[in-house]
Structure 1
Amino acid sequence: MSLSRTQSLRMAAALQDCSSKLDIVRLKMQLSREPAAQEKVRLAKLTRDCQYVSLQMSKLCLELEEKQSFISLLQAVEEEQKQKADVKRREAKTELKYRVQALQTQPEELQIKTDKLKDMDCLCRDMKKRHKEQSKIADKKKAEERTAELQLQLRQKETCQAEKLLEDQLELLQKQLKEEIMFHQESEKFLQNQHEELKQLLDEWEQRTKRMLQEKEKQLNTVCCKKTLNFDRLMEMKRQFKEMEQVAMEDREEQKKLLQKQEEVRAATKLQAWWRGWMVRRGLGSFKKAEENKKGKTKKEGKKKKKK
């Protein structure tokens, strides 16, 4: 089937919109948190399906824009149906294989069950034998318990004797403790006296240190005051130095300007003198009239002399 140009363009635009939405969904699935194993498989399948659908949509858009038809869509549907049929065939084949394997393993399982039953019978016989042996062991234990009671009585006597010895040792220890307590009290008094003496020395040293600190603080304050005064003087001297330096710079600039003006005046006078000399030598400008006047006067004087 062929479509008109407008219909094909509308369908292409709609398909492009759908493909962009599918891309967004695929990206969201990829950026989602790490899921469980089953959800991972499902998400992977969904992403593959989205990629396949977007690819088919792009092909269909190109076909609509170029040929105004949707043959690729029909071909994709046919391929999908063929793939589904192939998958169903494969699944049927696998099910048949599993059934054949199950039928083959049934006699083996029956044999295993019979073997288990035989083992259970053997276990029951062993349990009966063990029960008889345990009854014999219980009789032996009773005899051992009687001997253990006799041993306990002997141990009780021994413990009574040991307790008497311990009482004697405790009395000796109490005497030693009393002597040690007396010695400890005397040493404690001696230490208290020494502690009081050390306290007095410490108080004296604290008073001395306080006086020393006060004197040092006074000296520090005087040094700080002198430092601030010297700093102020230094800043004032710097300011004066800057002013004098600025005045000197201005004086130098003025002297340079004066020298430049003097040189300009000298150069101008030299140029004027050269120009006047050149004009006089050439007889140009105002100097030409002066020369003509001089020449006229010399000619008139010569004629007067001739007349005479």
Structure 2
Amino acid sequence: MASPFKAVELLRITTVLEDCADQLAILGNIMRARQGRSAEEAATADIGDVPHRSHRELGSPVLPAYLSKVQRDRDYVDQAITALLEELQATGTFNSLLCIVDEEEKRKNQLQDVILKEEEGRNKTKVLQRQLQDIRKENALKLQDRDCFIAHLKDQLQETKARTALEKSYVTKCSKLLVYQGQKLNACSEKQLLEMIQFLHDRMEEEKRARAEMEGFLRRHQAHLEEKLETWMEQYERDMEEKQQEINTLRNARASNLLQLQELARKYQHSEQVVKEDRVQKLLLHQQLETERNQRIAALKIQSWWRGTLVRRQMGPHRKEKRMTTAKKKKKKN
């Protein structure tokens, strides 16, 4: 492939890129020295003196990670410039730079898709967490209402016991039958209240188990959704590769069909030209035959007219026969 640049332009571009590579090398040395100095300061820093030191002296907590990222970016740009210099010096083209730009755009699009899907997963997780909080609040309110109801029943039980004691002391003077009936009634009421308390305790335990099962289900469902998200990402990548292959196949088939269509169009034009020439030849032949037929008909008409004229006027061979017949008659008379 011919170089799109002139020699002078190629020399200027190469000089600028070499200058950029040198500046990047100097920046890398400075950053490595900065990282080493930051590590030494972090190792020798005194924890007791941290509150009394300024933020600039301590350094930002994200500075090492930021320096590492800048170092990685510098290495990446340095490699790209080195590859571009080699390609310019070898062939005078910059295809490697275009490939790097295309790869970065594809990687950026993929990262954006991953971020969108991750945001969707986070939104779903937030919705599930809100639902779980609502369920917890509802269960807490139910438990609080039941605790109040149990306390009310206990108060009623205490009041009933107190009233029973007062009635017992009052009814002691009454007959034994009335005392026996009162005891039976109180015992029955107490039994019913105890059964109600036991029923409420059972319901509370059941609610606690249901809440635990609900939390476990939501956690399992969240883990399942995360697994499905990973599976969908893998399926998305496979589908993208398959669709790209289908597009390439369709492009090849389209190019092949276009060639076949052009060949068929060329054959059709040739056939149409042959048909037109054949039609012209047939038309000329038909006109020639029609002319010859008209000429023959005209000749036959002229011959018929002429024969009729000879017969009517007794000309030609018909006249000779008449003269010979007249001569024979004269001979016989003689």
Tell me whether the two structures share a fold, i.e. TM-score over 0.5: no
TM-score, length basis structure 1:
0.35
Q: Tell me which of the two structures has the higher relative contact order, counting C-alpha pairs closer than 8 angstroms and 6 or more residues apart.
A: 2
TM-score, length basis structure 2:
0.33
Q: Which has the larger radius of gyration?
A: 1
